[in-house]
């Protein structure tokens, strides 16, 4: 099925539904939140009841997005707010999942499995490589810069009016997932979508200053430490750096930053390091709160693809931006850092 037919079918499914639940991945990033906010506007405009859910949503940076306050992060609260107790199907006859390659990333595995068994329909909008197949209509295009870009295509194909609010959502998602058009995933189609959002009145400079330019002191200090420890492996031309849990505690003054900000903090840092001349790829290792070491991999512009390495280590992601998580901790032995299990 072509992308156009899938996007048209998705809109028809939304129009035929009476009540729609929209979900993005846990610890949502800017693209996930923007995609949920955009889909919420579209579904509401069709006159449907909508509820939105992202577990561990803790990103006040994006509170300018339309309907941001309506995105719930507590599943029990959402159930009481929308007055249902058992199966999702008791309340919603369509579930839309955005920006989630794996079902586990919805943080609703059991609920969605039960919903599907009861005959519930699911649409998925995503740009991550597939991990699980569970949607009735899967609209997955890993070559796209962001889920927001896919939603822009959905808007155009279905001749939905690109309001200023929708344009702000699309622009935010694209900006965040391309690091202000810096990453190679930003194609000419991406920039055409961006041009259309600007023509529709999207607030480019406001969005950039709220999000990308809003780095606090602790974040910059963390970057400083990672730069200081940067090393290049001469054989593979891979640059590596490490951040331990103790560093996080020292710099941030607290042991655990909320996980959402933490994943954003380190993906911003990996994106920044990927500009390093002379390296083919970068690997940033940091200790997570739960006894795991997370590896964040990025290709440099003329570097090698990193997705295979991530998958070999049990992770996944895009060709040029991927990651993995392995049990253990970081230890400095002599001049080198090692992951000790």
Residues that bind Mn ion (CB under 5 A): 31, 99, 146-147, 177
CB of 308 to Mn ion, least distance (A): 21
CB of 258 to Mn ion, least distance (A): 19
Nearest to Mn ion by Cβ — which residue? 31
CB 119 within 8 A of CB 95: no
Closer by beta carbon to Mn ion, 31 or else 168? 31
Strand extents, DSSP E, 74-181: 94-98, 121-126, 137-140
CB of 140 to Mn ion, least distance (A): 12
Strand pairing class (316-317; 336-340): unpaired
CB 149 within 8 A of CB 194: no
CB 295 within 8 A of CB 310: yes
Closer by beta carbon to Mn ion, 28 or else 120? 28
Cα separation, 304 vs 42, whole angstroms: 39
Closer by beta carbon to Mn ion, 50 or else 146? 146
CB of 234 to Mn ion, least distance (A): 34
CB 14 within 8 A of CB 41: no
CB of 89 to Mn ion, least distance (A): 28
CB of 295 to Mn ion, least distance (A): 19
Cα separation, 306 vs 323, whole angstroms: 9
CB of 338 to Mn ion, least distance (A): 32
Closer by beta carbon to Mn ion, 99 or else 287? 99
CB 53 within 8 A of CB 21: yes
Give residues with Cβ within 8 angstroms of 109, minimum separation 6.
103
Closer by beta carbon to Mn ion, 35 or else 299? 35
Q: What is the DSSP letter of 70?
A: G
Closer by beta carbon to Mn ion, 73 or else 145? 145
Residue 255's CB is within 10 A of a number of other CB atoms, namely 10
Closer by beta carbon to Mn ion, 7 or else 226? 7
Cα separation, 108 vs 125, whole angstroms: 17
């Amino acid at each position: 099925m072509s992308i156009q037919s899938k996007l048209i079918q998705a809109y028809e499914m939304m129009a035929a539904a009476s009540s729609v639940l929209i979900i993005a991945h846990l610890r949502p990033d800017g693209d996930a939140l923007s995609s949920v906010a955009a889909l919420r506007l579209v579904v509401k405009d069709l006159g449907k009841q909508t509820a939105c859910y992202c577990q561990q949503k803790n990103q006040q940076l994006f509170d300018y997005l339309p309907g941001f306050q309506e995105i719930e992060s507590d599943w029990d609260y959402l159930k009481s707010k929308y007055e249902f107790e058992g199966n999702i199907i008791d309340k919603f006859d369509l579930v839309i999942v955005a920006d989630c390659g794996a079902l586990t990333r919805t943080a609703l595995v059991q609920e969605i499995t039960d919903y599907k068994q009861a005959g519930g329909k699911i649409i998925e909008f995503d740009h991550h490589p597939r991990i699980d197949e569970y949607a009735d209509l899967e609209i997955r295009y890993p070559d796209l810069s962001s889920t927001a870009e896919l939603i822009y295509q959905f808007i155009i194909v279905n001749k939905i009016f690109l309001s200023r609010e929708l344009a702000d959502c699309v622009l935010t998602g694209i900006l965040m997932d391309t690091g202000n058009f810096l990453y190679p995933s930003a194609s000419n189609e991406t920039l055409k979508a961006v041009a259309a959002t600007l023509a529709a009145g999207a607030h480019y400079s406001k969005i950039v200053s709220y999000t990308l330019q809003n780095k606090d002191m602790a974040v910059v200090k963390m970057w400083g430490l990672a730069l200081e420890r940067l090393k290049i492996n001469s054989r593979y031309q891979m640059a590596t750096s490490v951040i331990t849990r103790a560093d996080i505690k020292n710099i941030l003054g607290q042991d655990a930053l909320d996980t959402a900000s933490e994943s954003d903090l380190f993906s911003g840092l990996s994106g920044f390091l990927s500009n390093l001349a002379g390296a083919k790829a970068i690997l940033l290792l940091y200790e997570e709160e739960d006894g795991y070491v997370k590896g964040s991999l990025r290709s440099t512009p003329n570097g090698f693809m990193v997705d295979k390495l991530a998958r070999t280590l049990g992770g996944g992601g895009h060709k040029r931006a991927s990651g993995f998580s392995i049990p253990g901790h970081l230890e400095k032995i002599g001049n080198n850092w090692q992951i000790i299990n």
